[in-house]
A and B are shown apart, each in its own frame.
Chain A
Amino acid sequence: MMNIRNSIVLSAVATVLVATTGCVNNPDSSGLEYMPDMYRSPAVEAYVDYGQDPYQVGEEVASSQRMVQSARKPVAGTIAFHPEAMDFVMPYPYPNTVEGYEAAGLALASPLTQIGQAEIEAGQEIYTLMCTQCHGEEGKGNGALSRNGHIQGIPSYSDKLKDLPEGKMYHTLTYGKGLMGSHASQLSQKDRWLVIEYIKVLQQGGEMPEFDENGNVVKSASTEAGDAMAMNN
């Protein structure tokens, strides 16, 4: 019969095999790599929070460093500096309240100076990628989330929101309103104003205005409204 030494050798071999294949198949391990400190280096990189080298500073220090996010908010009170686009980096003056919303609707106007084909098409692209799942392709409030019954009753731009002023739109995009959350973290101030240009087109039924060869709007109701706004200020 099999003697004891043989079975010990066998089980040792089995354990080693199990252990090695085990770690190769573990979905939480990315597999063998050489120079692992190049993949997880102590240098600060966005989305990589590995801290300093645990061999040098000790596991305790390293793991506490891992708990600190490397992606930081800008220092409070600072403003990004873009010499050619200072209109789009200023802090938003209206507070996140009902009164702030009404006030923005009355006084806030788009800082975009030139509104032509390029701007409206840029707005359309942002709208198609970021807003259609709720508001729908034509802005009627029938995006996929609404059709699937997750968020219902999203107002239509060309109906309930036909006369919504751009200041209120901007306020809503910045702070959110009701079920629509704030999109300030996803859209820069300029992007927000660009997409509003396209919403104005949707308010008129969704037909693109005519452009001349330089990409200027030939005639459309929304630019007239915009001019009136600008004059009020």
Chain B
Amino acid sequence: MIADLGFKATKSFLTACLVLFAVQGTAGIWDDGNIEEGQALFNANCASCHKVTNEVLAAPGLAGIADRWGASEELLVQWIQNPQGAAESGDSYIKSLVSRYVPTYGWMTAQAVSAEDVKNIMAYVQNPPDAAPVADSGSDCITVDELPIEEANNDSGVWFVMLLVLFLIIAMAAAGVNRSLTNASREKDGGALLEDLPYGQRVKMWAWENRVAVSLIGVFIVAYGAVLGYQGLMRVGVVEGYKPNQPIQFIHSVHVCENEVDCKYCHHSAYESKHAGIPSTNVCMNCHKAVKKGRRYGETEIGKIYEAIGFDATSGTYVDGEGKNGYASPQDTYDGDPIRWNKVHNLPDHVFFSHQQHVVVGGLQCQNCHGDVETYTVGRVAKVEDINQLVDKYPGLIELSKPTLTMGWCIECHNKAEIDLASSGYYEEIHHRLKDHLRGNEELRMYMEDDKITVKELGGWECAKCHY
């Protein structure tokens, strides 16, 4: 309590000084400030809470500020330098401001800016130059315009088949026309007309006349069919390249590459559990509270996040007022429809796979299994050839040949991946025992012959490690 009183006393003293100071330096705060300096000051000090439009970020927007404060120029400077002090002045506008915003956004923090600075800031706030388009960070990220547009359905195969059918029909029609023309010309010359045989018979005759070519083609077609059939069977259960449509056109490259958000920010449980997890909506809101528009889809896609979590973009508050700052309190009342992402990777139920084992203990990079996610839009199952291309970009990737997410792929990597036994406490016991081979334990010698320990040698090929 005593401390509290002391605090108050210093504050009133400070306020007094500030008022004195302010009176001297604020002639005409609404005009003749330097817009450029104001902009720099604003971005450095105020932009994390205020916008120059009337959009609410973490505080009221400053558009039309001159109408609201008008003549109380000193008070405004005082407010910016020490809001709680200025509130003690008992000004009625400040009272209404405080009762309206402090319960939701808390007190504005005191700003270390001079009256001159405030003048420049106000010049900028009143006449903000048109916002320059957000520059691509000049890095080698794939830009939004280069990304492929998600199409609802790109059935190139269908067009191929349709073309083939069209071609057949034209060929047959042409044959028919050809026949009528020949007949017509023979009729004119008085020769014998072509026999009017049924279609099948004519084809048979034609085939017999060209039997060498036809049998060659036949053999070719049978062989081709067999190869295709074999390949088709080998694709059963292989999901490489699978990229379903998602309820929100999420773009990995914008987040991961352009804005340098690490995978862990969104898929943090990859480091702690079996699952890598899909981020919950409050994680998106950590940034999308401020980022309300995308360069590609404008407000539509980001609006779906707001819809799901119950956020009002214009007032900058959560609908139920409880999930303040994205913190989900037990009293949450908003009953929105959650975002239903479609699952992309999906191992069958009879397989156990743990991210933590591979990412934390094994030290593998996400790209080794998921490809170059920083160039993706929505998630997809990477193709193993594409992953092999990345070796230059991500040193240390293990090159594999079997399709991803098949058993052959897991096994192949377990045969190739080496383990650094000393790296973590996880292998202490095994490490200790393996060192025994130096003391003549023949049974263990075979493991150390090639001077490296693979996952397989530690049991990575045991059926029960993956199936139980």
Contacts and interface: CB of A to CB of B under 8 A. Distances in A.
Interface in A173-232: 174-187
Interface residues of A, number: 69
Interface string A1-38: 11100110010011001100110111110111111001
Interface stretch (B60-68, B182-190, B206-214, B323-331): B323-331
Interface in B42-67: 42-49, 57-59
Given A25-B156, A130-B262, A153-B43, A179 B289 contact: yes
Given A150-B290, A174-B327, A181 B161 contact: no
Contact of A38 (B158, B242, B328, B348): B348
B327 A2 contact: no
A96 interface: yes
A176 B325 CA distance: 5
B413 to A, nearest CB: 21
Given A17-B161, A21-B161, A39-B349, A150 B291 contact: yes
A185 B325 contact: no
Nearest to B276: A47
B265 interface: yes
Contact of B48 (A10, A147, A153): A153
A147 B268 CA distance: 24
Contacts of A153: 42-49
B49 A185 contact: no
Interface string B249-289: 00000000011111011001000000101101011011101
Contacts of A132: 260, 262
Nearest to A43: B349
A6 B137 CA distance: 62
A174 B329 CA distance: 11
B346 A182 contact: no
Interface stretch (B162-170, B365-373, B448-456): B162-170
A176 B324 contact: yes
B220 interface: no
A3 B291 contact: no
B285 A155 contact: no
Contacts of B156: 25
Could you tell me the dominant secondary structure of chain A's interface residues?
loop
B343 A47 contact: yes
Interface in A93-123: 96, 98, 101
Contacts of B430: none
Interface in B301-351: 324-330, 338, 342-343, 346-350
B290 A182 contact: no
A86 interface: no
A57 interface: no
A185 B282 contact: yes
B235 A152 contact: no
Contacts of B49: 153, 178-179
Interface in B208-236: 235-236
Contacts of A179: 48-49, 57-58, 289-290
B244 interface: yes
Interface residues of B, number: 80
A128 B160 CA distance: 50
Interface string A45-56: 111100000000
A18 B43 contact: no
Contacts of B329: 96
B176 interface: yes
Contacts of A48: 343, 346
B34 interface: no
Contacts of B165: 10, 13-14, 17
Contacts of B265: 129-130, 133, 186
A32 B237 CA distance: 6
Nearest to B262: A129
B134 A27 contact: no
Interface in A135-162: 143-145, 147-155, 160
B105 A176 contact: no
A96 B173 CA distance: 79
Given A21-B157, A30-B242, A2 B43 contact: no
Given A2-B172, A176-B326, A145 B287 contact: yes
Interface in B140-179: 153-158, 160-162, 165, 168-169, 172-173, 176
Nearest to B108: A178
A190 B79 CA distance: 38
A182 B343 contact: no
B262 A33 contact: no
A36 B288 CA distance: 38
Contacts of B286: 176, 180-183
Given A14-B162, A148-B134, A150-B259, 13 more contacts: A1-B176, A17-B161, A46-B275, A47-B277, A98-B102, A133-B259, A133-B260, A133-B265, A144-B261, A150-B134, A152-B47, A182-B286, A187-B268
Nearest first, the 10 closest Cβ-Cβ pairs linking A and B are A176-B325, A152-B47, A181-B286, A153-B48, A153-B47, A178-B58, A182-B327, A21-B157, A38-B348, A144-B260
Interface of B: 42-49, 57-59, 102-103, 105-107, 112, 134-135, 137, 153-158, 160-162, 165, 168-169, 172-173, 176, 199, 235-239, 242-245, 258-262, 264-265, 268, 275, 277-278, 280, 282-283, 285-287, 289-291, 324-330, 338, 342-343, 346-350
22 contacts: A2-B169, A2-B176, A7-B169, A31-B238, A31-B239, A33-B237, A43-B349, A47-B275, A128-B262, A130-B264, A144-B258, A152-B44, A177-B106, A177-B325, A178-B58, A178-B59, A180-B286, A181-B285, A182-B286, A182-B328, A185-B282, A185-B283
